[in-house]
């Protein structure tokens, strides 16, 4: 992974999902997972190192909801007398800067943490947030994945099981409503999408929707087939997100510029559906993966969406795998 790519990652929100892909962009082609891994040496350590340096940017949204940007996925924080509620935990190395930013909002202790899914760049901080006093809530598949070692093929990485303190103590299968700080938090399972553990978190009073990694704002998304994700599920989740919001809703993506809206979300859904159709047609014609990539089925979208580390070729491969 080159220095420039590394810096790009830190500016855009460093994501484990993307780090492995840097191996692909480095050579302009597709490396085997073990080659990519060898190139990146240890992806998890690189991400930890990056988070140890990256600043945390604070965005105040509406009512008592804010976003902390700069430690893996976008973290939402709800403040109030019942204690802070975190949506996602970011990366452990950011702890002092996350605490500093959160303390600048209020001195309420951190009492709850909701994980949008099991991935490292959203749940690595679970242990320290639990030590601060946060009870962890998540989908039952997040619980399942954190409890035992997880192999992610596209990262060529096996995550060890998490310490018990990092494993959610409250889980649900379809939906769940939590009432804290005079706000409802509506948690809803997407079904298999980016993984098989993705949930949305809606703040109805503030009219805010946190989509987790079912939505990447302005950049091609990662899809984790190793733990149950697939392209059709991603499109279904994007459709559910579009249907759930109005022109006034603030939409929080898992990655990319953290304050988004229905127009950008709709454009994202349309991009996913169009590329899926293009790739499916080529595959039905009998094209190999290499032949499909060579046909550039995402060409009309690449200038806008292909500027992050999920490159057009890598995204085409992810879609090809699922159609």
CB of 72 to Zn ion, least distance (A): 9
Shortest distance (Å) from residue 293 CB to Zn ion: 23
How far is 19 from 276, CA to CA, in rounded Å?
23
Give 238-288 as a DSSP string: HHHHHHH--TT-EEE-SEESSSB-HHHHHHHHHHHHHHHHHHHHHHHTT--
Stretch that binds Zn ion, among 22-30, 74-82, 209-217, 308-316 (CB under 5 A): 209-217
3-class DSSP state for residue 107? coil
Binding part of the chain for Zn ion, among 79-87, 168-176, 182-190, 208-216 by CB under 5 A, reads 208-216
Q: Is 255 in the site for Zn ion (CB under 5 A)?
A: no
Structure tokens at 106: 């209020």
Task: Tell me the CA distances in angstroms from 48 to 94, 95, 246, one per residue in order.
Answer: 8, 11, 37
CB of 36 to Zn ion, least distance (A): 18
Question: Closest separation between CB of residue 134 and Zn ion, Å?
Answer: 20
Which C-beta is closer to Zn ion: that of 17 or that of 280?
17
Give 13's contacts (C-beta < 8 A, 6+ positions apart). Answer: 69, 70, 72, 73, 74, 255, 256, 258
Closer Cβ to Zn ion, 123 or 129, answer by number: 123
Q: Please state whether beta strands 135-139 and 110-114 pair in parallel, antiparallel, or not at all (unpaired).
A: parallel
Q: Which two tokens stand for residue 289?
A: 């993966």
Nearest to 33 by CA among 158, 159, 150, 155: 155
Please, which residue, 17 or 234, has the CB nearer to Zn ion? 17
Nearest distance from C-beta of residue 117 to Zn ion, angstroms: 6
Binding residues for Zn ion restricted to 110-169, rule: CB under 5 A: 119
Q: Which is nearer to Zn ion, 132 or 154 (CB)?
A: 154
Q: How far is the CB of 19 from Zn ion (least distance, A)?
A: 12
Find the binding residues for Zn ion in span 12-41 (CB under 5 A). 17
- 3-class state of residue 74 by DSSP: coil
213 part of the interface to Zn ion, by CB under 5 A: yes
Taking a C-beta distance cutoff of 8 angstroms, is the pair 319, 279 a contact? Answer: yes
Per CB under 5 A, the segment of 206-214, 238-246, 271-279, 287-295 that binds Zn ion is: 206-214
Q: How many residues bind Zn ion (CB under 5 A)?
A: 3
Q: Using CB under 5 A as the criterion, which residues of the chain lie in contact with Zn ion when the complex forms?
A: 17, 119, 213
């Amino acid at each position: 992974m080159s220095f420039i790519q590394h810096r790009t990652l830190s500016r855009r929100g460093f994501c484990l999902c993307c780090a492995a892909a840097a191996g692909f962009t480095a050579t302009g082609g597709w490396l085997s997972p073990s080659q990519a891994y060898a190139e990146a040496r240890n992806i998890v350590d690189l991400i930890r190192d990056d988070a140890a340096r990256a600043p945390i940017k604070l965005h105040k949204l509406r009512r008592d909801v804010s976003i902390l940007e700069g430690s893996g996925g976008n973290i939402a924080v709800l403040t109030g007398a019942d204690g802070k509620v975190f949506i996602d935990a970011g990366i452990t190395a950011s702890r002092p800067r996350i605490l500093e930013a959160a303390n600048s909002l209020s001195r309420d202790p951190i009492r709850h943490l909701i994980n949008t899914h099991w991935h490292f760049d959203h749940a690595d901080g679970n242990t320290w947030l639990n030590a601060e006093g946060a009870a962890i809530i998540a989908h039952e598949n997040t619980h399942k994945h954190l409890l035992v070692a997880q192999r992610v093929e596209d990262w060529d990485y096996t995550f060890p099981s998490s310490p018990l303190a990092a494993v959610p103590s409250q889980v649900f299968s379809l939906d769940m409503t939590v009432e804290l700080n005079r706000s409802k938090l509506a948690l809803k399972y997407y079904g298999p999408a980016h993984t098989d553990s993705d949930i949305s978190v809606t703040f109805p009073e503030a009219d805010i929707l946190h989509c987790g990694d079912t939505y990447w704002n302005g950049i091609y998304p990662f899809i984790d087939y190793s733990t149950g994700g697939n392209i059709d599920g991603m499109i279904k989740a994007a459709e559910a997100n579009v249907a759930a919001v109005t022109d006034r809703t603030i939409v929080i993506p898992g990655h990319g510029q953290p304050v988004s809206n229905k127009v950008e979300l709709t454009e994202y859904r349309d991009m996913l559906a169009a590329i899926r159709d293009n790739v499916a047609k080529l595959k039905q014609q009998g094209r190999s993966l290499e032949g499909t990539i060579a046909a550039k089925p995402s060409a009309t979208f690449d200038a806008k969406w292909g500027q992050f580390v999920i490159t057009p070729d890598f995204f085409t491969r992810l879609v090809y795998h699922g159609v």
